[in-house]
Structure 1
Amino acid sequence: MVNSSQDFEDCSYDELATKHVSVRRVLGLFKAYSTRLIMMLILIVASSALGMASPFLLRAIIDDALPNGDLGFLALLAGSLIVLACLGTVIGVLQVAITSRVGQAIMHDLRVRVYAHLQSLSLGFFMTTRTGEVQSRIASDIGGLQALVTHTASELTRNVSTVVMTIIAMLALEWRLALFSFLVLPAAIWISHRVGKVREEITYEQQLRIADMSSMVQESLSISGIILARTMGRTDHLTRRFVRTSEGVAALEVRSHTAGQWQWAVIDLVLQALPASTLLLGSILMSQGTAAVTIGTMVAMVALQEQLLWPLEEVLRSGVEIRTTRALFARIFDYLDRPVETRERPGPTVLDRKSIRGAIRLHKVSFAYDGSQRPTIDDVSIDIPAGSHVAIVGATGSGKTTLGYLLARLYDVDAGSICYDGVDVRDLSFQSLTDMLGVVPQEPYLLNASIADNLRFARPDASDEDLIAAAKVAQVHEMISALPNGYDTLVGERGYRFSGGEKQRIALARTLLRRPRVLLMDEATSALDPVTERAMSQALETMDRECTTITIAHRLSTVRHADRIFVMDHGQLVEQGRHDELLALGGVYAEMVRSAL
């Protein structure tokens, strides 16, 4: 049974995040770059150590060098501060360079993983998923992680290192003043956690709305969408719908940035008041004769507080950002965890292209789409000899197109088997199947490139003579030659500058370039006029008779001369034979012929 992607969309965000996201899995993205990350960690620790030394030098200047008028010692300490600043600058530059390279490499890896995984999913996934949603997850969601992997992660590490070392320095400098400074930490951490959770949920909802907006743009601003809107007089309606969606995204963006602002304001106020409170407490300790507390100690402590509080606040904010990106990881990993239903088995059978005959046998094949109460294909058995021309016909919904999907292994059968030259299609290597089978769908997809590029998509090494030969068989060479730029003519978005019949013929020429041993045409001539269709049929007949041709058709004029016609009705094979034989039966096929007159 084919799994629907709807199962993934129905669960709540908490269920989605719990199921797909873990700290170990996120850290796994960085594993391939462990050497460079260790180098960056060493630089971060070195930078933090340099920063920790500065307040102690400052205390020595205030308590020793200045009171004693020791200019040589003062010069040494001041020079040390300058050297530390220079080293910190160099380390900072190196850290940014490493972080940027690693971050962009991780982003690239993640995009490629998602794209490659989506390429391997079954046709059912794409039937139930909006194109705009897929685009949003690859572009918007992964793009939203860029700040995390190129900036936030390294900044968090650096700030944590600075915080830890500064805390140690403060305790070593004067433990009572240090403990007083730490009183604000529990409240700040609690607020950070609370704000992070709120923003995480808002971000997930925001990405859903961005996906809606992306889908709306993709659908309504395509050529088909523009034609539909203008001919139906619905352009204003679509604009209003886009306005509502955009307003929703903007409102969520405001909520995301303003969530917890009052709590952060209180923390900021406390942090701003901390240096003054420390000086007050230090003065009280000095008045009580505490020898460890000097003016230099208090100045150094305030300097350490400044060195602590800014990184600490950044750590807390980074924690909020990481919680927010968890929502993005949930959506990305959701796609990566979609099961690949059509897999190449270990050690698959590889057929020698030269020895492929093209004999096909379907044995008791059954198949049902997920959620269907009855099978779309029910116990169908068909034998197709190599080199023959057969047709599969039936009314709309009879299952003939689904049978084509199964022959191309866009789905796997639920029961029974489909064999090519005696080998189960599930045992064949993907390359062997694609080398053998050429498919021409009813709605051909043309790339927004030249006609030549579209044709060579099937066979990049094809010569100009090969293109012309295939185009002549498909009855499209004269049309292409009449264009100002000939085969270099751009076809436009989805080929809309050409008619349906012209697109079908270009698609057929593209498939013929691959010289398949089995040619599967699914309503591939439905948009052709009778004269062109007849000429194409005659041209196909002149091809190598070793090519097995399967024509799936609703229009019966295309199949009259087939070697054998298989008639489908409600997923079952009800009749088979030649055209004259089926007419003589007076059954389903005969009724279809009478209805077409």
Structure 2
Amino acid sequence: MHPEATPWNAHAKEPEPPRAEVRRILRLFRPYRGRLAIVGLLVGAASAVSVASPFMLREILDTAIPQGRTGLLSLLALGMILTAVMTSVFGVLQTLISTTVGQRVMHDLRTAVYAQLQRMPLAFFTRTRTGEVQSRIANDIGGMQATVTSTATSLVSNLTAVVATVVAMLALDWRLTVVSLLLLPLFVWISRRVGNERKRITTQRQKQMAVMAATVTESLSVSGILLGRTMGRADSLTRSFAEESERLVDLEVRSSMAGRWRMSTIGIVMAAMPALIYWAAGFALQSGGPTISIGTLVAFVSLQQGLFRPAVSLLSTGVQMQASLALFQRIFEYLDLPVEITEPEKPVRLDTIRGEVRFEDIDFAYEATQAELTIDGVDVTVPAGGRLAVVGPTGSGKSTLSYLVPRLYDVTGGRVTIDGVDVRDLDFDTLARAVGVVSQETYLFHASVAENLRFAKPDATDAEIEAAARAAQIHDHIASLPDGYDTLVGERGYRFSGGEKQRLAIARTILRDPPVLILDEATSALDTRTEYAVQEAIDALSAGRTTITIAHRLSTVRDADEIVVLEAGRVAERGSHDKLLALDGRYAALVRRDAQLTVPVIAP
């Protein structure tokens, strides 16, 4: 028993609270915790080594120089040099490992999003602009690169440096340390406010980048250029793009400047802290308080200045991470989309496929809330090797019916079976081997002819490719091209005519050799002469296969074993061509209409 299908966005998750998002981000790094542990050790070692320099400086100023101990002076100076060398070496190794981990996390995210999108139902792509999908993968994940490759490590590094420095400062003089840290809570509060502001702006910026990506994808494709120029809209499209770009400029400036003055104030205050330390030490000395040695004072100021860089960097990193949460949210939105068409836990695999297809009292609606069914109670059987034609007026559900066999959609009631097995119980590999689709809109990659054909069968030999092309009656044309099968087809195959593209699609399907063939109005957009040539290729492809033909031109379905007439998703008539003509019902009316449309009109 299969649950009724639901729309792809029916169970979309609510946005997670920030803490949950942070935990989820941290889980991305879990597979690399061993390498991150090494980074942590390097960070700790670098911080411990770096804070040793001020103590050596204190000994130089308070002991080695006043007492003229040149041996000790040389040893301490050498120690300070070695400290700098070791800190640099640790830093380089830390950067190498952290960058590698970050890039692996980026790779995992990109792959996870792409794999998730491959599993989404067709409805998702009919409602989502192509540029939006591309923007999520390119811009959003690309924008997270700084966070996953350096920001996280910078956070750990700076936090460790701050803690180590504060401990060292306490060891030198706790009173001066208290003075140095009085304003720290205020700085943290300011940085959190700035981070929230940048997060809001980043969300708007990424949405605007997605709009621009969609505009570019649509208007600068071959189809977009043809439409824009023939409609005289090139200047209008340019102005529209300029307006979108102007909005992005504004958001980029706002993102860059958000809280900039407040963060600069923090920097100014921290840069002025040494003066405050000198003033506090001098005031204590003049008022008869406890004295502080010159070496201690200089060492402390050195530590305090060393604290300035990681502290400011730590606050800035916190701001960046808050802003990057907006990017992670957009990626997680895609990763959390419900996948309605899934492989069963115990899928059925068919080694031998005869090709019998049954539509058993099926219902289908694109939306769970849709009052009227697109397919309503269709019950049809196509025996193995049989030929079924589905005809009807536009919007009657013909193509939708064909989409249910390869599970581009799942039925909401009843079931579709192949050789008696519900297609929802078949493993995806078996279903892909069982069903081939040739549609009206042939899609070809911007690659060579051979690569496009080999997409159906990656291990196909050159001889197999040529045989498929000959069967589809396209070999002679390919052979006449300067580069033959190595000829680039151009974006979406625009170097080939409609009939040539259709025959390439047929050759690709022949190479796949599926037992069940879906022909979704494969010749409806072709002229009569080209249709005849393509139809011969289709006849060669259909031989010995279970064929379901969705037809607009009824001349292509006369020889079908059974013709089903759909009207408003229901079977209105069924039977052979001759039987339906004799009924003089809906099919006969469609035939008369088709004849009128194809008869040329001769002017008197």
Structure 1 Cα separation of the partners of residues 50 and 61 of structure 2: 18
Distance 1:308 1:258 in 2: 25
1:488-525: CA deviation from partner (whole Å, max 9, x where unpaired): 22110000111222111111110111111011110112
* CA distance in structure 2 between the aligned counterparts of 1:337 and 1:20, rounded to whole angstroms: 17
Tell me if structure 2 keeps the 8 A contact 1:439–1:520.
yes
Give yes or no for contact 2:502–2:534 (8 Å, CA) kept in 1.
no
Is the 2:510–2:541 contact (alpha carbons within 8 Å) kept by the matching residues of 1? no
1:547 CA drift (Å): 1.2
- Partners of 1:549 and 1:504 lie apart in 2 by 17
Which of 3, 7, 23 is the matching residue for 2:7? Answer: 3
Aligned counterpart in structure 1 of residue 366 of structure 2, from 369, 378, 382? 369
Where does residue 157 of structure 1 map in the other structure? 156
1:472 Cα offset (Å):
2.8
Q: Aligned partners of 1:20, 1:338: CA distance in 2, in Å? A: 21
Structure 2 gaps of 5+ residues are 596-604
From 568, 571, 594, the counterpart of 2:569: 571
C-alpha separation between the residues in 1 aligned to 2:99 and 2:419?
Answer: 53
1:382 matched residue in structure 2: 380
User: Which residue identity does 1:486 align to in structure 2?
Assistant: G
1:293-351 Cα shifts (integer Å, max 9, x gaps): 22112111111111111110000000000001100000001100011110000121100
Determine helix, strand or coil for the equivalent of 1:520.
strand
Please give the secondary structure, in 2, of the residue aligned with 1:361.
Answer: strand
For 1:135-534, list aligned pairs within 5 A: 135-291=134-290, 293-352=292-351, 355-370=352-367, 372-534=370-532
- CA deviations on 1:406-438 (whole Å, 9 max, x unpaired) are 111011111100010000000001111111111
CA pair 367-443 structure 1, distance change in 2 beyond 3 A: same
Q: What amino acid is the match of 1:596? A: D
Structure 2 CA distance for aligned equivalents of residues 20 and 491 of structure 1: 50
Alignment of 1:90-169 (within 5 A): 90-169=89-168
Give the fraction of aligned pairs with identical amino acids, expressed as a percent. Answer: 53
Deviation at 1:20?
10
Task: Judge conservation of contact 1:286–1:294 (CA < 8 Å) in 2.
Answer: no
Shift of 1:478: 2.7
Distance 2:22 2:381 in 1: 54
Deviations 1:123-178 (A, max 9, x none): 11111111101111101111111111111111111100010111111112111111
| Higher deviation after alignment, 587-596 or 527-536 | 527-536
Provide, for residues 192-214 of structure 1, a one-character-per-residue CA deviation record: whole Å limited to 9, x for no partner: 00000000010010000000001
1:265 is displaced (CA, Å) by 2.5
**Secondary structure at 2:23's aligned position in 1?**
helix
Distance 1:587 1:44 in 2: 83
Amino acid at match of 1:29: L
2:111 partner SS: helix
Check the 8 A contact 1:20/1:333 in 2, yes or no. Answer: no
Counterpart in the other structure of 1:48: 47
SS at match of 2:573: strand
Corresponding residue of 1:77: 76
SS in 1 for 2:182: helix
Please give the TM-score of this superposition, normalised by the length of structure 1.
0.96
* Deviations 1:368-399, CA, capped at 9 Å, x for gaps: 01253311111111100101111111111000
Letter in 2 for 1:391: A
Q: Match of 2:156, as an amino acid?
A: T
| Structure 1 unmatched ranges of 5 or more | none
SS at match of 1:342: coil
Tell me the secondary structure at the aligned position of residue 349 of structure 1: coil
Structure-2 separation of matches of 1:313 and 1:146: 21
Distance 1:539 1:443, change over 3 A: closer
Contact 2:472 2:541 in 1 (8 A): no
SS of the residue corresponding to residue 447 of structure 2 reads coil
8 A Cα contact 1:441 1:521, kept in partner: yes
Structure 1 pair 542/90, CA: closer, same or farther in 2 (3 Å)? closer
Aligned with 1:411: secondary structure? coil
Shift of 1:550: 1.0
Aligned partner of 1:547 among 530, 545, 548: 545
Q: Which amino acid in the other structure matches residue 396 of structure 2? A: S
Q: Check whether the contact 1:377–1:572 (CA below 8 A) recurs between aligned residues.
A: yes
CA distance in 2, matches of 1:73, 1:469: 87
Contact 1:48–1:162 (CA under 8 A) maintained in structure 2 = yes
Query: What's the CA shift for 1:541?
Result: 4.3
Question: How much has 1:21 moved relative to structure 2?
Answer: 5.6
Q: Does 495-504 or 376-385 show the bigger shift?
A: 495-504
Letter in structure 1 aligned against 2:234: T
CA contact (8 A) 1:405 1:411 kept: yes
Query: Per-residue CA shift, 1:517-573, capped at 9, x if unaligned?
Result: 011110112233434434554555456854111111111111011111111111111
Distance 1:529 1:475, change over 3 A: farther
**Is this contact kept in 2: 1:394–1:569, CA < 8 A?**
yes
Contact 1:437/1:517 (8 A) holds in 2: yes
Distance 1:269 1:359, change over 3 A: same
Q: The residue matched to 2:523 in structure 1 has which SS?
A: coil
Q: Residue 446 of structure 1: CA displacement?
A: 0.1
Q: For the Cα contact (< 8 Å) 1:21–1:330, is it kept in 2?
A: no
Shift of 1:585: 1.2
The size of the alignment, in residue pairs, is: 590
Output the CA distance in 2 between the equivalents of 1:542 and 1:79: 85
Change (3 A) 1:280 1:26: same
Structure 1 Cα separation of the partners of residues 56 and 19 of structure 2: 49
What is the identity, as a one-letter code, of the residue corresponding to 1:588?
R
**CA shift in 2, pair 1:287/1:441, >3 Å:** same
User: For residues 595 and 405 of structure 1, what CA distance do their matches in structure 2 show?
Assistant: 27
Residues 1:220 and 1:103: Cα distance change in structure 2 (over 3 Å)? same
Distance 1:156 1:410, change over 3 A: same
Deviates more, 1:261-270 or 1:229-238: 261-270
Q: Which amino acid aligns with 1:296?
A: G
1:15-72 deviations in whole A, cap 9, x for unaligned? Answer: 6353996111000110000010000000000100011111111111111111111111
Q: Stretches of 4+ moved more than 6 A in 1?
A: none
State how far apart, in whole Å, the 2-side matches of 1:471 and 1:68 are: 94
Once the two structures are TM-superposed, the CA of residue 366 in structure 1 deviates from its matched residue by 0.5
Residue 185 of structure 1 aligns with an amino acid whose one-letter code is L
Indicate conservation of the 8 Å contact 1:21/1:333, yes or no: no
- For 2:122 and 2:18, locate their aligned partners in 1 and report how far apart those are by CA, in whole Å: 24
- 2:95 maps to amino acid: V
Residue pair 2:506, 2:538 contacting (<8 A) in 1 also: no
Q: After the TM superposition, which of the residue ranges 431-440 and 473-482 deviates more from structure 2? A: 473-482
- In the TM superposition, residue 6 of structure 1 has moved relative to its aligned partner by 9.6
* TM value normalised by structure 2: 0.95
